[in-house]
Amino acid sequence: MTLGCQHTIHARNHHIGWNRTNKPAIHILPGETVELDVVDTGGGQITPQTTISDLDSLRYGGFAPLTGPIFIDGAQPGDALKITFLSFDTSGWGWSMITPRYGILTDDFQTPFLKIWHYDPSCRNPAMHADVARIPLKPFPGIIGVAPAVSGTHASLQPRNVGGNMDMRDLSIGSVLYLPVEVTGGLLSVGDTHAAQGNGELAGTALESPMRVALKVDLEKNIGIPGPWIQTSGPVARHLDAKGYHITCGVHEDLVEAARLATRHMIDLLGKDHGLLPIDAYLLCSVCGDLAISEMVNKPVSVVSLYFPRIVLE
């Protein structure tokens, strides 16, 4: 459990979308700590009792609520926030969904699928899927950012130079994120917390899970960074690489199509080598498979690879 933060923002203090006119939930001084109670990306509409038949009634306009915003005293355009991730107090449950609305293979998977997860809140033990897959846990916020200078409301589910839906698994405990400030006070918000995710979030969702996130927010004056900068506290893949990887490659002139090919090849490999159904293989690729651009030098063809950690299935 997170202890000792100077400020707390409860889940009721959330908003949909980024807007420079959003009223701050709290004001803090640079260097202070804050704990945010973050609603899952479904906005609380999905619960441990939700079934596949309930998905048709979801209000997708209520997805990706953001806890905040936080006004940092003294933050001005041209500055940067220095955000250190202190701890994650997880809920022990979450969900993943496959739907034609999201994902890299929407044409291949037209039938909705819902997985309700129950996992060790300490994240010391892996989460189980279908008694055959063990998913290492690494909580982080899929969305974190500040308000853009451009007027109007901007969708939560989009990455920007000021953060947003970056879905970067390595924004975990000990990591430091720098975000450029574009409006007075910065207006920092957090959402879309994940207990586990592969790089790429291929099926459109990770292990979506409500949790409390503790941050320390410092202010760097007049450094004028163009976009997010990140420092990790150590190796980023050690929790997955103990037994090596299955790797498939997609080769194509279009990077997105190359990524689709690599994903389809991995689904086939996991079916042949481990007996997984395509829907289960796709889901696992989303929560623990990592896309990588292997090369772009041989124009116009590029290679995108998908790394799947063997420790999950062996």
- Last residue of a domain, which of 169, 200, 231? 231
User: How far apart are alpha carbons 196 and 200 in whole angstroms?
Assistant: 12
Quick one: which of 120, 147, 112 has its CA closest to 21?
147
Q: What is the CATH number of the domain that holds 163?
A: 2.60.120.580
- Residue 249 one-letter amino acid: C
Q: What is the CATH number of the domain that holds 265?
A: 3.10.28.20
Residues 304 and 179 in one domain: no
Tens of pLDDT, residues 124-159: 999 999 889 999 999 999 999 999 999 999 999 999
Mean of all residue pLDDT scores within the chain: 95
Domain count, the chain: 2
Residue 248 has pLDDT above 50, yes or no: yes
Tens of pLDDT, residues 72-122: 999 999 999 999 999 999 999 999 999 999 999 999 999 999 999 999 999
My answer on whether omega of the bond before 309 falls inside 30° of 0, hence cis, is no
pLDDT > 70 in the chain, percent: 98
Question: Of all helices (H) and strands (E), which one includes residue 84?
Answer: strand 80-90
Domain annotation covers residue 103? yes
Residue 160 has pLDDT above 60, yes or no: yes
Quick one: which of 64, 78, 83 has its CA closest to 18?
64
User: How far apart are alpha carbons 68 and 90 in whole angstroms?
Assistant: 19
Tens of pLDDT, residues 9-61: 999 999 999 999 999 999 999 999 999 999 999 999 999 999 999 998 999 88
- Last residue of a domain, which of 178, 205, 231? 231
Residues 84 and 195 in one domain: yes
Rounded to 5°, angle at Cα 231 from 35 and 83:
25
From the CA atom positions of the chain, what is the Rg in Å?
19
Residues 118 and 189 in one domain: yes
Domain annotation covers residue 85? yes
Give the chain's length. 314
Residues 104 and 187 in one domain: yes
User: How far apart are alpha carbons 282 and 214 in whole angstroms?
Assistant: 32
Residues 42 and 139 in one domain: yes
Domain annotation covers residue 255? yes
Residues 177 and 75 in one domain: yes
Residues 185 and 158 in one domain: yes
7: its two tokens: 């400020």
Q: Rounded to 10 degrees, what is the CA torsion of 16, 83, 194, 20?
A: 10
Could you tell me which residue, 219 or 241, shows the higher pLDDT? 219
Residues 171 and 227 in one domain: yes
28-53 burial: b if 16+ Cβ within 10 Å, else e: bebebbbbbbbbbbbbebbeeebeee
Domain annotation covers residue 12? yes
Domain annotation covers residue 238? no
Domain annotation covers residue 237? no
The confidence score (pLDDT) of residue 1 equals: 46
User: How far apart are alpha carbons 64 and 171 in whole angstroms?
Assistant: 18
Domain annotation covers residue 240? no
Tens of pLDDT, residues 210-239: 999 999 999 999 999 999 999 998 888 666
User: How far apart are alpha carbons 303 and 10 in whole angstroms?
Assistant: 44
* DSSP annotation of 79: -
- Last residue of a domain, which of 231, 258, 288? 231
Q: pLDDT band at residue 240, thresholds of 50, 70 and 90?
A: confident
Residues 266 and 163 in one domain: no
Residues 293 and 204 in one domain: no
The confidence score (pLDDT) of residue 238 equals: 63
Q: How far, in whole angstroms, is CA 219 from its chain's centroid? A: 24
* DSSP annotation of 160: E
Find the domain containing 278 and state its range: 245-312
Domain annotation covers residue 239? no
Residue 285 has pLDDT above 70, yes or no: yes
Residues 223 and 249 in one domain: no
The confidence score (pLDDT) of residue 236 equals: 80
Residues 165 and 278 in one domain: no
114 in Cβ contact with 52 (< 8 Å): yes
